[in-house]
Amino acid sequence: MRSLLLLASIGILASDEGAWQPIGPGFEPGTAIAYQVRCDAADERRLWCATRPFGVWSSGDGGVTWTRHGAPPTDADGAVGVNNGMVQDSSTPGRWLLGYERSGVWISADDCRTWTASNAGIRRGRGMNAVSLALDPQDPRRALLGTDGGLYASDDGGRRWKRVTAGLPTGTTASAGTDVSLTITAIVHDPHRRGRIHIAVYATGEGERAGVFRSDDRGLTWQRTSDGIDRASVDYSGMPLQGDMAFALDVDRYHQGGLVVQTASGIYRSDNAGESWIRIRAGGGTGPVVWDRAKPDRIWLASDDGVWISDDRGAGWRQASTGLPLGRRPGAVPLRVPLIAQDGTTRVIEVWPLRDVYSGRSFAQAGSWMYLAWTDGVYRRRVSP
């Protein structure tokens, strides 16, 4: 039986099936955020955890003991990209790519001990926030990078980048050249068709379209595949968001054409590679959602109110949060931030620091355990059949 790994924010935790318990890596709660957890391609008991601000940690015994490795030598105290912001090049032992806020892509050739910036071709400023990374499973030299300035591609393993725009929302609106934020929040390769890739897009601006896009030519050109995803504005934590803003995306390994996406307006499923979508859960969010790698039809979701599981492709859901702290860290104090509406009026909203809100960051899968990183740590439990 395989296991599922879900990363949230500060350390790594573990348990037998039922309740969640901590397993490391050992820093004090509230001092850091764990953004990515990965299993080594050559040894699934070896875990990797990318944190802010303490760099990368590894465990060779499934989380019993941990070793701290190096952090990229950046002045920006940025977070690791939230969706696959840490990827391993399985064709080259010891080689990793890491995406950071405000400082772009970093590459290590010695199992995360030292790092070299690799941003040739990436636009400075907006675009230096690396959000998602993916390597072509058939050709690891082909890399895709999602940023808050659009999508980039590399044909030399991430050393040089070129922006991809064909079929994607533009960087400005049609009127007055107003700047648009175009963020690629997730990148997934389709295992059922070589060269097919799906991305989740968060786009703002007049006339812009967010949602899900698909490429059938290894990422050279794109088409929007979001029919059925509600675009109407929704209120998310006091902020108005376009309903089709997409934050997480995964592909079904068992059923060709199967996709699941987390948007501001809810969780949606597609059975035809994104040509159409049906809503399978109301109420959107920004956490990860994935198909189970071991059990067909099972979906895992991390939301603000815990972890949820569906065993029937989203028809029904059950909570799986026993042992997880929910809500906000005791004693947390929100920031008061002015928000300017389109009509020019200003209102103040409360924004909670990431370290004070319990939420998920990423999923992965290996072995017979599920590892969950949930703000104060990565938790582990067995995957039930």
What are the pLDDT digits (tens) for 176-208?
344 557 899 999 999 999 999 999 998 876 556
The confidence score (pLDDT) of residue 3 equals 44
The confidence score (pLDDT) of residue 16 equals 44
Q: Which domain holds residue 228?
A: 4-382
The confidence score (pLDDT) of residue 247 equals 92
Could you give the C-alpha distances from 122 to 110, 149, 222, in angstroms and in order? 24, 9, 20
Dmax of the chain from CA atoms? 57
Q: Are 146 and 184 in contact (CB under 8 A)?
A: yes
User: What number is the average pLDDT over the span 49-65?
Assistant: 86
Query: Closest by alpha carbon to 201, among 163, 239, 168, 241?
Result: 168
How many structural domains does the chain have? 1
Could you give the C-alpha distances from 45 to 7, 18, 40, 371, in angstroms and in order? 16, 21, 7, 12
Which stretches within the chain are classed as H helix? none
Q: Structure tokens of 203? A: 């786009």
The single-letter DSSP state of residue 42 is S
Which CATH number is 184's domain given?
Answer: 2.130.10.10
pTM of whole model > 0.75?
Answer: yes
User: What number is the average pLDDT over the span 372-381?
Assistant: 77
Residue linked to tokens 């990209």: 81
- Of the spans 22-31, 106-115, 227-236, which averages the highest pLDDT? 106-115
Q: Reduced to 3 states, what is the DSSP secondary structure of residue 304? A: coil
Q: How does residue 98 score in pLDDT terms, banded at 50, 70 and 90?
A: very high
The confidence score (pLDDT) of residue 272 equals 98
The whole-chain average pLDDT of the chain stands at 84
Rounded Cα gap, residues 226 and 167, in angstroms:
13
Q: Reduced to 3 states, what is the DSSP secondary structure of residue 6? A: strand
Look at residue 335 and tell me whether its pLDDT is greater than 90: no
What are the pLDDT digits (tens) for 262-309?
999 999 999 999 999 999 999 888 888 999 988 999 999 988 788 899
Look at residue 214 and tell me whether its pLDDT is greater than 50: yes
Q: How does residue 54 score in pLDDT terms, banded at 50, 70 and 90?
A: confident
